[in-house]
Amino acid sequence: MSTVSWITARGLFGRRRFLLLLPLPVLLVLLAVLSRAFGVDPGEWGPPVLVGLGLAVVLPVVALIVGTGVLGAEIDDGTVVHILTKPLPRWQIVLPKLAVATGVTAVTVAVPLYVAGVLADSVGLGLALAAAAAVGALAYSALFVALSLLTRRPVLLGLVYVLIWEGLLANVVSGTKVLSIQQYVIALADRLAPTELLEAGVSVPVAAVMTALISVGFTVLAIDRLRSFSVAGETS
């Protein structure tokens, strides 16, 4: 493990905001278990719990908390200066942080989604949801890490993207689905384990290409922005 990822992981788990990660995945599993226990038809509870909660809320919100935490929190409290005053090419700072963000998000979201998927349909669906969520975690993390460097309010802008763009506009204006990571995740999961429970809004090639473009594009952008990272003069 590189020193940057070690410090990043320590910072992430050392902050109290990490506790914010727990309630949503727990809620997801709880709803799935209760629905199953009460014998509700998976066709009824599957879409709202798996997609409505799991892919539309838990995945992006966890990615937002973690993605803005790995770099944005360090920029906020100024500790980023310690890492930046080292003779490291900036990609050696961005990539480990992105890896930690993606890894933590993927594990936090994939496990409850797997459990819910198994309860709703089959192990196949559980694995498909987990794999697609891990891919989505990469795209979201790249976006939110880059946002930390593009704006001083990455959490707010991230929420606007998740809630307004993906949550609201994608349901009203279908064209916006092309720029919705949530839709890519649904399309990929549906391709891996086709069921009635998932309804893809974009084609699989579009989802694959856009996920790659977003992941690579925002990573490159983040590296470039970190090269020109400015500390605002506080006494001037």
Partner 1 sequence: MSAISAERTAPATGRTASTLELAGVSRWYGNVVAVNDISMSLGPGVTGLLGPNGAGKTTLLHMMAGFLAPSRGAVTLDGRPTWRNPDVYRRLGLVSEREAVHTFLTAYEFVLASAKLHQLPDPTAAARRAIALVELEGAQDRRIGTYSKGMRQRARVAAALVHEPQVLLLDEPFNGMDPRQRLHMMELLHRLGDAGRTILFSSHILEEVEQVSGTVQVMVAGRLAASGDFRTIRRLMTNRPHVFAVHSTDDRALAVALMAEESVTGVELGRAGLTVRAGDYGAFTRALPKIALARGIRVRQLLPEDESLESVFSYLVEA
Residues that bind partner 1 (CB under 8 A): 3-4, 6-7, 10-11, 14, 77-79, 81-90, 227-231, 233-236
Instruction: State the nearest-atom distance from the C-beta of 9 to partner 1, in Å.
Output: 11
Q: Which is nearer to partner 1, 89 or 194 (CB)?
A: 89
Distance of CA 118 to the CA centre of its chain: 22
* 182 and 208 Cβ atoms separated by less than 8 Å: no
Q: Which is nearer to partner 1, 39 or 85 (CB)?
A: 85
Instruction: State the nearest-atom distance from the C-beta of 143 to partner 1, in Å.
Output: 24
Q: Which is nearer to partner 1, 4 or 28 (CB)?
A: 4
Instruction: State the nearest-atom distance from the C-beta of 69 to partner 1, in Å.
Output: 13
Contacts of 66 (CB under 8 A, 6+ apart): 12, 21, 101, 104, 105, 108, 141, 144
Q: Which is nearer to partner 1, 9 or 51 (CB)?
A: 9
Instruction: State the nearest-atom distance from the C-beta of 99 to partner 1, in Å.
Output: 16
CB neighbourhood size of 108 (10 A): 23
Q: What share of the chain is helix, strand, coil (3-state, %, to 5)?
A: 80, 0, 20
CB neighbourhood size of 94 (10 A): 26
Q: Which is nearer to partner 1, 175 or 235 (CB)?
A: 235
Instruction: State the nearest-atom distance from the C-beta of 25 to partner 1, in Å.
Output: 24
DSSP assignment string, 6-24:
HHHHHHHHHSGGGGGGTHH
